Amino acid sequence: MNEAQPIPFKPEVARPAGRRLCPFPDMHVSVPIHMPITTAQMENVRLGWIPEDMSDRWFIYVDEGNVAHIHRGGTGYCVYRVNFAPHQDGWAAVQLDANRDSEQYSNVDIERDVQTVKTLIQDYLMRNRSPSVPNFIPGIGRQN
């Protein structure tokens, strides 16, 4: 008797196709940042982030050039771009571009932008979305 093999879990990868996303504006500032991450964390970063419901503020996708495009979920405005590059035996966020089009984004404090982006990377993109996590349920996440 053949036992059915479990279907491997593959998380959905965020893609811009079919979404109402605004291009990143010409009015922006760029600053170097340094946020090292592991190769495994970079794999999670590459998945991007798809909003789970209307209260979720962000849609994030990563292009082939390892640039994370961070859009507001409700408006589609691209607020940040984050460039990732190989670093030592892993990766690092190396440059932040922050929207400065005042009709799309009102913040002008670059330090606040840097902290916001680091938090977004940590909270949204570096989450372990693997079924090898104890109590992980696909589509629901970790259950305690």
Percent of the chain having pLDDT more than 70?
A: 81
Task: Supply the pTM of this predicted model.
Answer: 0.81
Residue 133, pLDDT > 50, answer no
CATH of domain 28-127: 3.30.310
* Domain edges within the chain: 28-127
The pLDDT, as a whole number, for residue 7 is 53
pLDDT tens digits for range 66-89: 999 999 988 999 999 999 999 999
Q: Report d(CA 24, CA 5) in Å as an integer.
A: 44
Q: Rounded to 5 degrees, what are φ and ψ at 125?
A: -90, -30
The pLDDT, as a whole number, for residue 144 is 43
Q: Report d(CA 141, CA 144) in Å as an integer.
A: 10
Q: Report d(CA 138, CA 48) in Å as an integer.
A: 16
Reported as a pLDDT band with limits 50, 70 and 90, residue 124 is: confident
